[in-house]
Amino acid sequence: MSVLQNIYENGLVGIIRGVQPDDILDVAKSLHQGGIHTLEITADTPRILQVIEQLREELPEEVIVGAGTVLDAETARAVIMAGAQFVFSPTVNIDMIQTTKRYGVVSIPGALTPTEILTAYEAGGDVIKVFPARSAGPNYIKDVNGPLSHIPLMPTGGINLDNIMDYFQAGAVAAGLGGSLVQAKKKYTETDLAELTEKAKAYVEKVKAFQNNVQ
């Protein structure tokens, strides 16, 4: 299965931001145990390149590891060389998209307006991250999905257990989960990790139920 197919099938991207590098592997394993197999490590993480290398080496093959908050082509190349299988960005940077695609890696740029979304897609974006989704809401995804139904959209920012189904019903192909799933600046204990696994399972159950209903 390709990385892009994996993202579609999983339907969820767990965003690991603000977690201490020494805790990231345990957090990633807990998310995997909960059924979330697509993980984004933000590029502002200390020792990000070593973290990506470690995750690629120690996690099961079905786990997809990528980098997020990538703002330029140079950073995109660096994380790809470290093993990132996809590159997320909160913005539309044509050079970054083209660099990512040059190395055969899935590109997921961030955009908000219809013009930005179309520009990012035509530049080579595989999926467009609608960000910040919190400010737009599910109805915005539905409205944009009308004239731009050929462009796969992944809302990110403000997605939680209460509203995630609204976004999928509006036409999202996947969703990015940030602070509602993984808390930043937290020292994760064994109890915290177990709770994280259960929270991941709750998200997975909702998405799988939706996917089964539309098949």
pTM of the model as a whole:
0.95
pLDDT score at 214:
81
| Residue 95 · residue 77 · CB < 8 Å | no
Q: What angle do CA 181, 96, 91 make, to 5 degrees?
A: 50
- Hey, CA dihedral for 174, 59, 57, 2, is it positive or negative? negative
Q: Which of 109, 80, 72 has its CA nearest to residue 92?
A: 109
pLDDT score at 5:
94
SS3 percent helix, strand, coil of the chain, rounded to 5, is 50, 15, 35
At 107, list the tokens: 């590109």
Catalytic residue among 9, 29, 40, 186: 40
> Would you call 122 a catalytic residue per the annotation?
no
Catalytic residue among 129, 185, 186, 208: 129
> Would you call 40 a catalytic residue per the annotation?
yes
Average pLDDT for runs of 10 along the chain of length 215: 92 97 97 98 98 97 96 98 98 98 98 98 98 96 97 97 97 97 92 98 96 84
